[in-house]
Amino acid sequence: MLSTEQKIDKVVSWLQDKVKESGTNGLVVGISGGIDSAVVAFLIKKAFPNNSMGVIIPIKSSPKDREDALKVVKACGIDYLDLEITDVHTSLFDKVTDQMKEKNLYKEENERITDANLRARLRMSTLYTVANNLNYLVVGTDNKAEVYTGYFTKYGDGGVDLIPIANITKREVYKWARVLGVPKDVIDRPPSAGLWEGQTDENEMGTTYDMIDDLLEGKDIPKKDREIIERLHKRSEHKRNMPPKPPEF
């Protein structure tokens, strides 16, 4: 059984190997002020002290998110960009939806999720702009619980080159954060995608990370939670696979 420190060292070497294998020069991650991206920022800074970058990308975000993201940047000492792109989001969202409305094709009831997922996809485009320019890989922040439930935007925060914490549960993310020195304020925040006011992961999913982690560790959990988690897993299968194609002719 490896200690948390040993697991961290292994993942840091894995990141170094992946960059070497790919012929790239370093790594970039979006820093939200949440714990998952904080852990990943510390990992990539350890792997590439001089070739790692964090990007803070507020889109209609609360000022607290940016403040916490800046605390992460300061604590790990990573190079960073701070790019507020609310105007870009508004411009594209309005462009698309105005015309849909004119043609009576717009579904008001899907507005919140449409707006939210565009934020995640604009952040992905921002990170690839940096990655293309510096010849870096884009690093994702999904943990094992998020991958299993598909709790991410397809080609948004899910659109990445490497996912270093994909095999660790949310409770392990907390352990790693303490060992790495993630600021306490960031560790203590309730997990949120920050995609709308008051959103929390556990409220939206209808279960808790503890339950998901228990299930992933093979423990017994209440039937109601098991059903929710298995439904989320099944419904998101398409996000974990390449797009389907018809059989060869």
Helical pair 223-235 and 209-216, crossing angle rounded to 10 deg? 80
30 binds, among Mg ion, ligand DND, ligand ATP, none (CB under 5 to 8 A by kind): ligand ATP
Q: Closest approach of Cβ 193 to Mg ion, in Å?
A: 5
Chosen from ligand DND, Mg ion, ligand ATP, none, partner binding at 117 (C-beta under 5 to 8 Å by type): ligand DND
60 assigned to a ligand binding site: no
Query: Segment near ligand ATP (CB under 6 A), from 8-16, 89-97, 193-201, 212-220?
Result: 193-201
Distance of closest approach, residue 205 Cβ to ligand DND, in angstroms = 8
Using only the alpha carbons of the chain, give its radius of gyration. Answer: 19
Residue with token string 């808790």: 208
Contact flag: residue 31 with ligand ATP (CB under 6 A): yes
> With binding defined as CB under 6 A, does residue 150 bind ligand ATP?
no
User: Position of tokens 């510096």?
Assistant: 134
119 or 220: whose CB is closer to ligand ATP? Answer: 119
* Closest CA relative to residue 152, chosen from 184, 120, 189: 120
Q: Is position 89 annotated in a ligand binding site?
A: no
Q: Which of 26, 34 has the CB closer to Mg ion?
A: 34
Residue 228 binding result from Mg ion, ligand ATP, ligand DND, none, given CB thresholds of 5 to 8 Å by partner type: none
Kindly state the number of chain residues that form the binding site for ligand DND, as judged by CB under 6 A.
16
Segment contacting ligand DND by CB under 6 A, of 52-60, 112-120, 165-173, 174-182: 112-120
Q: Annotated binding residue at 37? A: yes
Stretch near ligand ATP under the rule CB under 6 A, chosen from 11-19, 29-37, 130-138, 230-238? 29-37
Spatial strand order in the sheet of 26-30:
79-82, 52-56, 26-30, 136-138
User: Sign (positive/negative) of CA torsion 240, 47, 76, 83?
Assistant: negative
Interface with Mg ion (CB under 5 A): 32, 34, 192
Instruction: Tell whether the torsion through CA atoms of 169, 174, 177 and 178 is positive or negative.
Output: negative
Residue with tokens 């993310």: 173
* Long-range contacts of the stretch 197-203 (C-beta < 8 A, 24+): 197/62, 201/151
CA distance 52 to 42: 10
DSSP sequence for 150-218: T-S-TTTTT--SB-TTTTS-HHHHHHHHHHHT--HHHHHSPP---SSTT--HHHHHTS-HHHHHHHHTT
Instruction: Find the binder of ligand DND among 7, 18, 60, 154 (CB under 6 A).
Output: 154
Residue 19 or 147 having the CB closest to ligand DND: 147
- Known binding positions for Mg(2+): 36, 146
Which residues are near ligand DND by CB under 6 A? 113, 116-117, 120, 146, 151-154, 156-157, 193, 195, 201, 204, 238
